[in-house]
Structures are given as C-alpha cells and as structure tokens.
C-alpha cells in the first residue's frame, strides 16, 4: 500500500472540476485517483447530476461505492445500483416557485430531473441542455414535467445571466426551495435546505468519516456548502469568483488536471508526471 494521504475522503464535483470540457477524465486524473485508493482513501463524487446521469461515469471509474447526486438530494450506491437516501421536491411548491420567478423576470425555460435510479430528465420546449452529451426527453407542455416525483427543477432565461437569474430566484422563492447555480446555463431549484453538504455529510457518516477527514474540490457556487462542511476546500482556476472567495486553496483548471496536481502533492509527487505544479493560493 502507498504512503497514507492526509485526507481519508476526497470529494470531487464533476463538471468543470474533475471532468474536462468534453466530459472525459484525463489519464493523469485517473492515475491520481488510483493512487488515492492505494493509499487507503475514499473518492466520493459529489455532483448536481442525478444518479442515472452519473452511473456511466462511475462505471468508467470502476466505482462500486457511494456517490452524492442531485445537488445532495440523493446518496447513490453504485455497486447495488440503488439509492440509499433521496428526497424529492414537492411538485406543487416547484410550480409555485416557478410562477413567482416568472412574475419577476418573464418567461423562463424549465427542465426536471425525475427521482429514482431510472429517472428521466424532461425538458420543456425552448429549454437547451447545458451538457448536450446528457440524455433528455422533450415534452410538449410544461405540465408534463410534473407527472412523476422529481429531485429538482433546472431553469434557463433567454436573456438574463446565470448570476442575475439565481439572485432574482433567491429573492422571491423564499422557503419554497433552495436555489443553486451549478454551472453555465444551470440555475436549479431543489428541496428546501438540501445542498451538496447534506448528501456529503450523510455519505461520510455512512463511511465513518468526518469533515476534518475530507478535502473537497469544486468550481461553482453550489459547491460552497460542501467547502463549508469539509476540512479543506480547493477551487479550480476556472471556478466562479464566489467559490474562490471561500476556498482554502485554488488549483489549476479542470483542463490542466488541477485535482491531480493537489492529490500528487498530498501523496508526495508523481514520477510519471514529473515535478508538481504549485497550487495557486487565493
């Protein structure tokens, strides 16, 4: 077994963090995660993607353990292909919240992630998937979005920026839902009080690990609760300014193997990839 690593739990976001822009992982990142496993640490994916949209990636990683999905609304057991824990967003509250937002900013385009390991992503007319590689089913009318239990609602506005839409949504939604911004073109409504930290805490407890045992990596404001919970938070160079402001450290971008750089440093370097690039302090 390799020398021990300072953290027993490595929590990584996916989009803009562990994944490159083409939704792939570099060989260097895969090698760093393999070394983490050899050192006895656990890697935990913590993502806004719902469990069905994460399962193929977990297969590629050879992950048979836990993953936190749906912005913390799901704790998924990859080996058993089942949800250990999930919470849904009340559909009437979601419709009410959506109406309040549209009363302020005009028409928005909506999508939903259905609950469950086989849940679909449904999109209404006009909604464009921010990740075209992810599968989605287009419906003809908005009311078709509410046919089955959902974990969250995804919103896009034809003119407002993500920051503007998220700020307005927070100002009018109140306790109806939690508003997050998880990536370009991705403002979301999820169950009130649910964040990535919620799911991360549940998964860590299941694994017998603590916040102090955890290093977390992310790139967007939805990762702030995870950073607040974890012992050490690392933002990517491409991260949103709000996340960089609360990070303990800023590494290189997702395209430049920023996670691998930090993990290699913690593990004492990498002969395969030569000298470490120093991480950038905020």
Do residues 178 and 220 both lie within one domain?
no
DSSP category for residue 118 = T
Are both 55 and 27 inside the same structural domain? yes
Please report whether residue 1 resides in a domain: no
Same domain, 164 and 32: no
Say which CATH number the domain at 20 has.
3.40.50.1000
1, pLDDT greater than 50? no
* Residue 278 pLDDT exceeds 80: no
Asked whether the beta carbons of 83 and 117 are under 8 A apart, the reply is: yes
pLDDT surpassing 80 at residue 125: yes
**Residue 35 main-chain phi, psi, to 5 deg:** -65, -35
Of 156, 175, 190, which closes a domain? 190
- Residue 18 DSSP code: I
3-state secondary structure of 69: strand
Per-residue pLDDT tens for 131-141?
777 789 999 99
pLDDT score recorded for residue 274: 39
Q: Which of 156, 190, 224 is the last residue of a domain?
A: 190
Segment 1-19 mean pLDDT: 87
Residues 132 and 207 in one domain: no
200 and 61 both lie in a single domain: yes
Domain annotation covers residue 2: no
CATH label of the domain that carries residue 146 = 3.30.1240.10
Local confidence band at 168 (pLDDT 50, 70, 90 cut-offs): very high
Which residue, 155, 190, 225, sits at the end of a domain? 190
- Average pLDDT score over the chain: 92
**Residue 207, domain extent:** 9-86+195-267
Question: Alpha carbon 134 to chain centroid distance?
Answer: 14
Count how many domains the chain has: 2
């Amino acid at each position: 077994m390799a020398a021990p690593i300072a953290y027993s739990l490595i929590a990584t976001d996916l989009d803009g963090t562990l994944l490159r822009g083409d939704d792939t992982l570099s060989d260097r990142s895969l090698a760093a995660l393999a070394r983490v496993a050899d050192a006895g640490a656990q890697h935990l994916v913590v993502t806004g993607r719902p469990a069905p949209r994460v399962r193929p990636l977990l297969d590629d990683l050879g992950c048979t353990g836990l993953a936190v999905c749906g912005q913390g609304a799901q704790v998924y057991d990859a080996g058993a292909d089942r949800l250990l824990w999930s919470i849904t967003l009340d559909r009437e509250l979601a419709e009410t919240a959506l109406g309040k937002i549209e009363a302020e900013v005009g028409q928005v385009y909506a999508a939903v992630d259905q609950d469950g390991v086989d849940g679909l992503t449904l999109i209404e007319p006009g909604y464009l998937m921010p990740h075209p590689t992810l599968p989605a089913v287009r419906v003809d009318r908005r009311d078709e979005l509410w046919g089955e239990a959902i974990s969250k609602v995804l919103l896009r506005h034809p003119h407002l920026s993500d920051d503007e839409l998220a700020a307005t949504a927070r100002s009018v939604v109140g306790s109806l839902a939690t508003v997050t911004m998880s990536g370009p073109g991705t403002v979301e409504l999820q169950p009130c009080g649910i964040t990535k930290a919620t799911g991360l805490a549940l998964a860590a407890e299941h694994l017998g690990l603590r916040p102090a045992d955890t290093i977390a990596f992310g790139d967007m404001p939805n990762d702030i609760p995870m950073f607040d919970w974890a012992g050490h938070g690392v933002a990517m160079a491409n991260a949103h300014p709000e996340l960089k402001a609360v990070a303990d450290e800023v590494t290189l971008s997702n395209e430049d193997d920023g996670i691998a750089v930090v993990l290699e440093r913690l593990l004492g370097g990498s002969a395969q990839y030569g000298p470490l690039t120093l991480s950038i302090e905020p």
